A and B are shown apart, each in its own frame.
Chain A
Amino acid sequence: MTVRERIRQNISAAFYRHGLLCASYPVPIILFTSASILTCCYPLLKLPLPGTGPVEFTTGVRDYSTPSHESQGDLSERPDWYRGPPVAYIQQVLVKAAVSPWDNSLVPVDVFRSPLGRVFSVLEEIRNHVYTDRSLEALCLQVTDLLPGLRRMQAVLPEHGCLLVSPGNYWQNRRDLFDADPDLLKTVHQHEPKGLHTSATLKDLLFGVPGKQTGVNLYSKKRVVTYTITIALSSYDARFVASLRARLKQLHPSANCTLREDHMVHVHFKEEIGIAELIPLVTTYIILFAYIYFSTRKIDMVKSKWGLALAAVVTVLSSLLMSVGLCTLFGLTPTLNGGEIFPYLVVVIGLENVLVLTKSVVSTPVDLEVKLRIAQGLSNESWSIMKNMATELCIILIGYFTFVPAIQEFCLFAVVGLVSDFFLQMFFFTTVLSIDIRRMELADLNRRLPAEAGMPPPKPGPLRPRETPPPPRPSPHTITLQAPAFRNLRLPKRLRVVYFLARTRLAQRIIMVGTVIWIGILVYTDPAGLRTFLAAQVSEQSPLGEAGLPPHLGVAPVFPGGDPTSTLSGLPAPEPTPLPENQSQGHRAAHPEVAPVSSPQITWGPEDEELWRRLSFRHWPSLFSYYNITLAKRYISILPVIPVTLHLSPQEAIDTRHPQDTHHAPPPSIKTSDLQTDLTLYKVAALGLFAGVVLVLLLFCLYRVLCPRNYGQNGVPHGRRRRGDLPCDEYGYSPPISEISPLLLRGHSMDIECLASDGMLLASCCLVGHIRVWDAQTGDCLTVIPNNGLRRSSSSGCWEHRDGGGAVGGQDVDIFPIRRRTTPARPALFGDQPDLTPLIDTNFGLSPPSQALSSSGFDFGGLVEKAYQEHEPSPTLAFPPSPPPVLPPELPPQNNGDWDSSVWAMELRGNLIATGRSSGKLELWDAVEGSLRCSNEDGVSGITALAFLNNRIVAARLNGSLDFFTVEITKPLGLLQYRGPPGRGSLPPSPCYSSEDVISCQLTRSVQCAHQKPITVLKAAAGRVVTGSQDHTVRVYRLEDSCCLFTLQGHSGGITAIYIDQTMVLASGGQDGTICVWDVLTGSRVSHVYGHRGDVTSLVCTTSCIISSGLDDLICIWDRSTGIKLYSIQQEVGCGASLGVISESLLVTGGQGCVSFWDLNYGDLLQTVYLGQSSEGQSVRQLLVLDNAAIVCDFGSELSLVYVPSVLEKLD
C-alpha cells in the first residue's frame, strides 16, 4: 500500500467518524459553530462601516498650523489622514442680499437681478485685497486647464489663474455682460443637466449653496438671494484671511450675525466610487450571483432545496466574515476595499465542496441510517475535498510570494477564509445536511403510510379511439403527482413559465429588490443630499419653520435671525421665543399687519455657519476634478465662512433692470407660487401614485391569470381526486390531471419471461412457453403460439388439450443461476374458465389441476371463487377480445417445434419471431400466422440471448459460444405482404416476410469460445454485435463477417448490462457496480465510473446522459461526455431494475406494480402509474419503449401497455 493510499484511507476514516459525530449531535454542533462564528466576527465591530462619505475633523483656527507629514503618535485624537498640507483651503464668502423694502412696483426679476449684480463689486474687493504685501493672487490655488472633456464649461469656470468661483462666473465676471443679459435665469439654467442627478451641478458649484436656497427664481417667497464666493487657497495665511474678513465685514456689515469663526473643518475624502467604478463592481457581483445560482441549482434530492442553498451561502459568507474578523484580531487591518475583493474571495473559496458533499450524501443508500449516510457520504468525498483544498492553498501560497502588498493581503484573507470555510463545511453544513436528510426521511415515512391503491376510475379513459370495447373491468390504477414538482406532463411550456412566476413570486421580488437597490444606491452615493432633504423636510414640517405656512410670513419681522445661544449645527434653527429686541431690521420692516406683501428679511442663523454641509458631498471633489485634481484619500480645510449682508434699495433694483425684465409675467399670487415651489413634490407624488396603480393593476392581472376563478371555494376541482396528497399547491391552483390508463393484456397463464417488439407487433413468451403476439397499437392479441403440442387455435380462445405431457422446463434452474425459477407448465383447461394456475402453490405442481379442483383436502374454495368472480365481468377480455383481422388457415400439426425445452430468448423483427430455447434450438415463427417457419438445431447448448438485426440472427449460448445465423428468404413471385401501415418514425430496416416465402436459417459462423463463461448480455446495433459475459469481458463483433473486433477489458465482475445504439456508443455495466463507456470505433475506454453498490442491472443512454440502475435501488444519471454523475434517484427497496427512455427528457422506470415517469432534466418524479390493484408485490421486470410513445412492461402474467399521451402532444 502506497503512502498515498494510506493517507487516503486515514482521511476517509477520519471523515467517516466526523460524519457520525455531526449527525449524532446536530444541535450542540450547530450551537458551537454559531458561537464560534460570532466570536470570530466580534472584532469586526471595531471596524468602521464601509462607506465613501467624507470624514471630518475640526480644529481651532487660532492655533492652527499645517500638520506635518510625520505621524505624531501622541495625538491620538487626530485621524491618521490628517497629515501634510491639505489640497486647498476653502474660504467661502457667504453673501445674502435682498431688495428692501419691497414694494409692489417691483417685478419678480428684481428679487435677484440687482443682488446678483452686486457680486461683481464684492469680487473686485476680494481680488484687490492686499494685506501687507500679500495679495490673493499669491495665496490662491492656481489652476491650469480644465479637463479636455469639459469644453462647454470653459466659458464658466476659471482657467489659468485663481480658483475663485462665484455666480459672476456665469457672465465671465464682467458686469457689462451681466447687465446685457436679458434672461438671467436662462443663463443660469442652461448649464443644468437634464434628468436625475445626484452629484453637484454647475449651479451648486458657482453659487456654493444648495440650489433651493439661492433664492434665484421668480417665485421666491423670501426674496433673499444667497450665494457664496468660493476661494480656494493653496496656502494658509492667517493674517491675510483675517484682514480680508475684517475688510468685508466692514464694508458690508451683517448686523445680527453671530456666526462662529473659530473652527476650521478638515474634510477627508475617501476613494470615490463613481458610477464608472460602480459598474465593474456591479458586474462582478452579477457574475457572483450567477455563479451561486448555477451552483446551488445543482442541489437535488433533499428536503428543502432552498434551505440547503441558503446554508451553503451562509457557510461561504460567514467564513468570509470570520476570515476578516480573525485577520483583524491578529492586527492585520484590512486596507483593501472590502466590497471589491469580496466577489473574488467567494469565487476562490467556492461553493463546490458544499455541493459535492450534498451529492455524495444524497447518493448513499437511502435505507441506511441517517448517521451512516452522512458518514459514508463524507468519507466518499474526503479525498477530493482534501485534494482541492491543498491545491487551493498551494495556489494562494504562490500568490503570497508575489510580494505585492495588495495581493499578499488578499492571499492572507483567502487562506484564513479557506480554513474557516473548511471548518464551517465540516461542522455547520454537514450538520444542516444531516438535519435535512432526517427531515426528508420522516416525510417519506409519512408519505408511505397512506399508500393504498385507488378505486377504479369512474370513466374508462381510453385515450385514443379504439374499435374494441373498453374493458368492463377497468384496470385499477392511480396516479400520484408529486405536489412540489409542479411539472406535469401535460403542462405546456407557457403555463410552466406562468406557474414558475407565480410560484416564485418573481415579479414582486424583482420590484422589491429593485426598490431596495435603488434606495441603497441613493443612500450610498448621496448621503449628504439625503440628509439635506430630510433636514429640509423636518424644518418645513415644523410649525415654526418660516417657510412653512404663508400666514406666518407676516410675523416674520418680529423674529430675529436665529438663536445666538444655539451652536448646534445641522439642526434647523430653533426659534423658541420671539425676541422683541431686533435692532437693525426693525425700521425697515413693513408693518406686518397691513402690508400686503412682506419685505424680505435677511437673517443669519447657525445653519448658515456651515452651509457647505448642505451641499452634495461630491461638491468639492467634483469642483477639483474639473481641474484634474483628485481629492480621493486627501483632505481639504474649510475655513469659517465670511458673512456679507447686502441691502439694496428698490430704486437701485429698478435702475439695474434690463429692459426685457418687465416683460415677464406679473408677480404670481401666493397660491400659484406655492404650487410652483411644490411642483416637484407633486410630480414625485404623481409618479409614485402612477407607479403604485400600475403595480396594483399588474398584480391584479397576475392574480386573475394565475388563480382559478373559484379560488377559495373548496372542492370544486378536487372531485376527481382520490388521494389526499394530490397536487394543489399552496396557492390553490392545480394542474390539470392527466390520467394515464394502462391497458392490460391478459392471456398468459404464467409469468412472462420474454418480451420483444418491433414497434408494430409485440411478442411475449411466458414461462410455460406460450408465445403470444399482440398488436402494439391496440393491444389486441393476434396470434397465440401454444406450447407442448396444444393445437394452435386461431385466436378463438379455445384449444384442445392434445398432449397432457405437462411439466417441462423446470429442470434448468440449476444450470443457469441467474434465471428465475421456472415453474412447471400447466395445461390450460378451458378457454372460458379462469386460469387458476397462478393460484396453485408450486409445491403441488405435480398434481393435476382437475384434482386440485375436486380435492377436498385443500380448501381452494375461496381462491377459486375469487378467481371466478374476478373473471366473471370480463369474459371477452382475457381471451382475444375481438375477431382478429386475419384468420390464419388452420395448419395441420406439422410443426415440429421443440416442446420439451423452454424459451430462453426471443426476438421479433418484421413478422418473424426468433426464439432461442434451452435445448439450443433456434426457431423462427411467423408472428401473424403462428406457424413455425424454420428451425435450426445446430447448437446444443441453450441459447441465452438473441439478437435479430437485418437478416442476421446472433445467438449466444450458455457455453460461451456465439452463433451467427443468416435468414434467407426465397420469395415466390407476386406475393402479398401483410404488414400494418408503417408506423411513425422509421422502422428498423427489417424485411417483411410473407407467408409464401420459404425461409431458411443457416448457421454461417460459430465462434466456439467467444467467452470463457456464459454470455449474459447480447446487444446488436449499428452493424456491431456486443456480447458481455461473466468472464468480465465485453467483445465487439462485426455483424457482416462475424469477426471479433475488440475484446474490452475493464470490469472486475461479470457483465450484466450493455447498451449500444446507432451512434456507436457502447456502455457496459458489471457486477462490480462499474459502468464503462467505450468507443466502439477504437475500442478505447472513454470513461469508467463506480456507480453502484452491487450489480448494474440496466443501462440506457440518451444523447446527453447515461442512465443506470443497480441492485442498490439507485438510478444514476451520468453525463455522457464527461462521465460525471449528474444526480441519482433513490428508488424504493426491491423495485424493478427496468429502465426505458421515452424521449430525451422522459425516463420511465418499473417499480412494484407501477411504472414511474421521471423528468430527466431535473430528476423529478412526474407520474406514477399503478398497473393493477391486486399485485402490489409484483415488480415490473421488463420494460420496452415502443415507437408510439407507449411502453410495454410485464406485470406478472399480464402485459401492460401504457400510453403516454402527453408526450405525443408535446412532440406534435
Chain B
Amino acid sequence: MVEVSALSSGALMRRGPYISMITNRTMNLLIRAAMLFMVGVFLALVLNLLQVQRNVTLFPPDVLSSVFSSAWWVPPCCGTAAALIGLLYPCMDRRLGEPHKLKREWSNVMRCVAVFVGINHASAKVDFANNVQLSLTLAALSVGLWWTFDRSRSGFGLGVVIAILATLATQLLVYNGVFQYTSPDFLYIRSWLPCIFFAGVITVGNIGRQLALYEYKVNQEKTHQD
C-alpha cells in the first residue's frame, strides 16, 4: 500500500440548469415550502373530513356537503403552518448541529404519516369511555410517534412549543366564535387537540427534514465545488 494515489475527490464539474436551479437556495426553499404547503392542505382537508363527518367540529352550514367541508381558511392555514414547521425543522437541526440519527428514508416518513393519520382516525372514530382516557391514549401515541420516528430532543421541544401555541390559537378562535367543538372539555376545545398538534408537528417536521436532505446533498456538493 505504498501508493499515494491522490484519488481526486470527486470530479469538479459544471452543473446543468436543473441542478443549478435546485442548488439555488431561495429556489430550493420555495420548492420545499410549496411542497410542504400542499402536504399541509391535503392533510387538513382529509383530517377535517374525518372530524366533520363525526360532528366533532361544527362549521357554519353553508359549506357542508362537499369535500371541502371545512371553512375555506382552514386548509391554507394548515398549509402555511406545515410549510413553516417543515422548514423550521431542518433549519434548527443545522443550527443546533444535532444530526438526525434515525434512518432517513421515505418509507419511514410514509410510516410516520400513516401513524399520524391513524391517530387522527382514532381521535375521531374510536369511542372512548371518557375524555381523559382518550386524551391520555392519544398523548401516549403521539409521544410514541416521536420516539419511533424522530427521537431528537430539539424535535420534541419544538413540537411541544408549537402544539401549545396552536392550542392557544385554537382556544382564541373558538372563543371568538369562529367555530366550535361539539363537546368541549378543555376550556373551549377538546383536550386531545394538543396531542394531535404535536403529532402533526413531528410528522411535518419529518417530511421537511426528508425534503431538506436533498438540498443538503446538493449544497454539500456545491461547497465541495467551491
Q: Please tell me which stretch of A117-125, A253-261, A831-839, A942-950 contacts chain B, meaning at least 4 of its Cβ atoms lie within 8 angstroms of it.
A: A942-950
Q: Is B98 an interface residue (CB 8 A)?
A: no
Inter-chain CA distance A139–B78, complex, in Å, is 50
Q: Which residues of B contact A754 (CB under 8 A)?
A: 2-5
Q: Which residues of B contact A905 (CB under 8 A)?
A: 2-4
CB distance from A903 to the nearest CB of B (A): 9
- Give the contacting residue for A407; candidates B10, B102, B137, B213; CB below 8 A: B137
Task: Considering the complex, give the chain A residue whose CB is closest to the CB of B60.
Answer: A148
Q: Is A1062 an interface residue (CB 8 A)?
A: yes
Inter-chain CA distance A405–B126, complex, in Å, is 9
Q: Is B165 an interface residue (CB 8 A)?
A: no
Contact A287–B110 (Cβ < 8 Å) = yes
Q: Please tell me which stretch of A89-97, A446-454, A1013-1021 contacts chain B, meaning at least 4 of its Cβ atoms lie within 8 angstroms of it.
A: A1013-1021
Contact B1–A818 (Cβ < 8 Å) = yes
Contact B129–A1103 (Cβ < 8 Å) = no
Given A147-B61, A1018-B4, does the pair A402, B69 have CB atoms closer than 8 Å?
no
Q: Is A481 an interface residue (CB 8 A)?
A: no
Task: Considering the complex, give the chain B residue whose CB is closest to the CB of A1056.
Answer: B1
Map CB proximity to B onto A952-964 as digits: 1 under 8 Å, 0 otherwise: 0000000000000
Q: Which residues of B contact A405 (CB under 8 A)?
A: 127
Contact A276–B49 (Cβ < 8 Å) = yes
CB distance from A763 to the nearest CB of B (A): 11
- Give the contacting residue for B50; candidates A280, A757, A818, A946; CB below 8 A: A280
Contact B121–A1103 (Cβ < 8 Å) = no
- Give the contacting residue for B106; candidates A294, A944, A1016, A1121; CB below 8 A: A294
Q: Is B53 an interface residue (CB 8 A)?
A: yes
Given A149-B64, A283-B46, A754-B3, does the pair A404, B133 have CB atoms closer than 8 Å?
yes
Q: Is A1045 an interface residue (CB 8 A)?
A: no
Q: Is A755 an interface residue (CB 8 A)?
A: yes
Given A904-B2, A985-B13, A1185-B11, does the pair A406, B126 have CB atoms closer than 8 Å?
yes
Q: Is B118 an interface residue (CB 8 A)?
A: yes
Q: Which residues of B contact A1103 (CB under 8 A)?
A: 10, 217, 220-221, 224
Contact A294–B105 (Cβ < 8 Å) = yes
- Give the contacting residue for B7; candidates A340, A946, A1185; CB below 8 A: A1185
Task: Considering the complex, give the chain B residue whose CB is closest to the CB of A944.
Answer: B2
Interface residues of B in 17-58 (CB under 8 A from A): 42, 45-47, 49-50, 52-53
Q: Please tell me which stretch of A73-81, A343-351, A608-616, A860-868 contacts chain B, meaning at least 4 of its Cβ atoms lie within 8 angstroms of it.
A: A343-351
Contact A947–B4 (Cβ < 8 Å) = yes
CB distance from A621 to the nearest CB of B (A): 14
In this complex, the member of B11, B133, B144, B221 whose beta carbon has the largest number of chain A beta carbons within 10 angstroms is B11
- Give the contacting residue for A1211; candidates B14, B47, B129; CB below 8 A: B14
Map CB proximity to A onto B121-159 as digits: 1 under 8 Å, 0 otherwise: 110011111000110110010001000000000000000
Secondary structure dominating the interface of A: mixed
CB distance from A729 to the nearest CB of B (A): 27
Interface residues of B in 51-110 (CB under 8 A from A): 52-53, 61-62, 64-65, 67, 69, 99-107, 110
Inter-chain CA distance A283–B122, complex, in Å, is 15
Given A755-B5, A945-B2, A1184-B7, does the pair A291, B111 have CB atoms closer than 8 Å?
yes
CB distance from B125 to the nearest CB of A (A): 8
Q: Which residues of B contact A945 (CB under 8 A)?
A: 2, 4
Q: Which residues of B contact A1017 (CB under 8 A)?
A: 1
Q: Which residues of B contact A904 (CB under 8 A)?
A: 2
Q: Which residues of A contact B136 (CB under 8 A)?
A: 402
Q: Is B117 an interface residue (CB 8 A)?
A: yes
Inter-chain CA distance A1143–B220, complex, in Å, is 14
Q: Which residues of A contact B14 (CB under 8 A)?
A: 984-985, 1211-1212
Given A149-B62, A1063-B224, A1144-B221, does the pair A816, B2 have CB atoms closer than 8 Å?
yes
Q: Is B211 an interface residue (CB 8 A)?
A: no
- Give the contacting residue for B101; candidates A347, A944, A1122; CB below 8 A: A1122
Q: Is A329 an interface residue (CB 8 A)?
A: no
Contact A279–B67 (Cβ < 8 Å) = yes
CB distance from A424 to the nearest CB of B (A): 20
CB distance from A847 to the nearest CB of B (A): 29
Q: Which residues of A contact B221 (CB under 8 A)?
A: 1103, 1144
Q: Which residues of B contact A1061 (CB under 8 A)?
A: 9-10, 224
Contact B62–A275 (Cβ < 8 Å) = no
Contact B104–A290 (Cβ < 8 Å) = no
Inter-chain CA distance A96–B63, complex, in Å, is 39
Q: Please tell me which stretch of A642-650, A783-791, A1134-1142 contacts chain B, meaning at least 4 of its Cβ atoms lie within 8 angstroms of it.
A: A1134-1142
Q: Is B12 an interface residue (CB 8 A)?
A: yes
Map CB proximity to B onto A1175-1192 as digits: 1 under 8 Å, 0 otherwise: 000000111111101000
Interface residues of B in 170-222 (CB under 8 A from A): 213, 216-217, 220-221
Contact A407–B4 (Cβ < 8 Å) = no
Inter-chain CA distance A907–B4, complex, in Å, is 7
CB distance from A587 to the nearest CB of B (A): 52
Q: Is A722 an interface residue (CB 8 A)?
A: no
Interface residues of A in 141-191 (CB under 8 A from B): 147-149
Q: Which residues of A contact B99 (CB under 8 A)?
A: 1121
Contact B126–A946 (Cβ < 8 Å) = no
Q: Is A284 an interface residue (CB 8 A)?
A: yes
Contact A1063–B111 (Cβ < 8 Å) = no
Inter-chain CA distance A275–B52, complex, in Å, is 13
CB distance from B93 to the nearest CB of A (A): 11
Contact A1104–B103 (Cβ < 8 Å) = no
Q: Which residues of B contact A1104 (CB under 8 A)?
A: 217, 220
Inter-chain CA distance A331–B67, complex, in Å, is 39
Q: Which residues of B contact A755 (CB under 8 A)?
A: 3, 5
CB distance from B147 to the nearest CB of A (A): 9
CB distance from B182 to the nearest CB of A (A): 13
Given A347-B115, A398-B140, does the pair A1143, B126 have CB atoms closer than 8 Å?
no
Given A1063-B220, A1184-B7, A1189-B11, does the pair A350, B49 have CB atoms closer than 8 Å?
no
Inter-chain CA distance A1122–B213, complex, in Å, is 12
Inter-chain CA distance A757–B16, complex, in Å, is 27
Interface residues of A in 407-434 (CB under 8 A from B): 407
Inter-chain CA distance A986–B224, complex, in Å, is 12
Inter-chain CA distance A283–B127, complex, in Å, is 22
Inter-chain CA distance A1100–B9, complex, in Å, is 7
Q: Is A1059 an interface residue (CB 8 A)?
A: yes
Inter-chain CA distance A1212–B13, complex, in Å, is 9
Interface residues of A in 288-328 (CB under 8 A from B): 288, 290-291, 294-295, 297-298
Interface residues of A in 736-767 (CB under 8 A from B): 753-757, 759
Q: Which residues of B contact A757 (CB under 8 A)?
A: 6, 8
CB distance from B45 to the nearest CB of A (A): 8
Q: Which residues of B contact A819 (CB under 8 A)?
A: 2
Inter-chain CA distance A1023–B114, complex, in Å, is 47
Interface residues of A in 906-952 (CB under 8 A from B): 906-907, 944-947
Q: Is A1155 an interface residue (CB 8 A)?
A: no
Contact A280–B117 (Cβ < 8 Å) = yes
Q: Which residues of A contact B103 (CB under 8 A)?
A: 1122, 1124
Q: Is A277 an interface residue (CB 8 A)?
A: yes
Given A149-B65, A1063-B224, does the pair A1139, B7 have CB atoms closer than 8 Å?
yes
Show the binding face of B for A, using Cβ within 8 Å: 1-16, 42, 45-47, 49-50, 52-53, 61-62, 64-65, 67, 69, 99-107, 110-111, 113-115, 117-118, 121-122, 125-129, 133-134, 136-137, 140, 144, 213, 216-217, 220-221, 223-224
Known: A280-B49, A290-B106, A754-B4. 8 other contacts (CB 8 A): A148-B61, A148-B64, A402-B136, A1061-B9, A1104-B220, A1143-B10, A1143-B11, A1187-B11
Show 23 residue pairs from A and B whose CB-CB distance is below 8 angstroms, ordered by the A residue.
Answer: A149-B62, A276-B52, A280-B46, A280-B117, A287-B110, A287-B114, A288-B114, A291-B111, A340-B125, A403-B129, A404-B127, A406-B122, A406-B126, A756-B4, A985-B11, A1102-B10, A1103-B220, A1121-B104, A1121-B213, A1122-B103, A1141-B11, A1184-B5, A1211-B14
Which 4 A/B pairs are nearest by Cβ-Cβ distance? Answer: A148-B61, A294-B107, A291-B110, A985-B12
